Amino acid sequence: MPNTTLPAYAIVEILMRLSGINKQIGDYKGHTLRSGIVNVKTTGGTIKISADLVMQQFNAPEQIGVDQLTLTASSFRQLRKR
């Protein structure tokens, strides 16, 4: 599935919500989609978000619970310092 099939602004909205859990996540830089998982590159590192969660953010964001966001935030991997 190409990037254009997912609303990028919904990914940005999820990142804003996730930043409330982990401020190191940072801002959106780009994403790729593979096997239903969105690999998001941010200014702080990378994070994996399910495509289903992105579409839920697009269609019914109020139905996304804190537990779901916390689980997603746990997939964040910080950039290595050089």
For residue 75, what are its two tokens?
């997939």
Question: What digits encode the pLDDT tens for the residues 4-54?
Answer: 589 999 999 999 999 999 999 999 999 999 999 999 999 999 999 999 999
For residue 2, is pLDDT > 50?
A: no
* Per-residue pLDDT band at 82 (split at 50, 70, 90): low
* Per-residue pLDDT band at 78 (split at 50, 70, 90): very high
Domains of the chain, residue spans: 3-78
Q: What is the pTM of this model?
A: 0.88
Question: What digits encode the pLDDT tens for the residues 37-48?
Answer: 999 999 999 999
d(CA 17, CA 1): 25
* Residue 53 Cα distances to 16, 18, 20, 80, angstroms: 14, 12, 17, 27
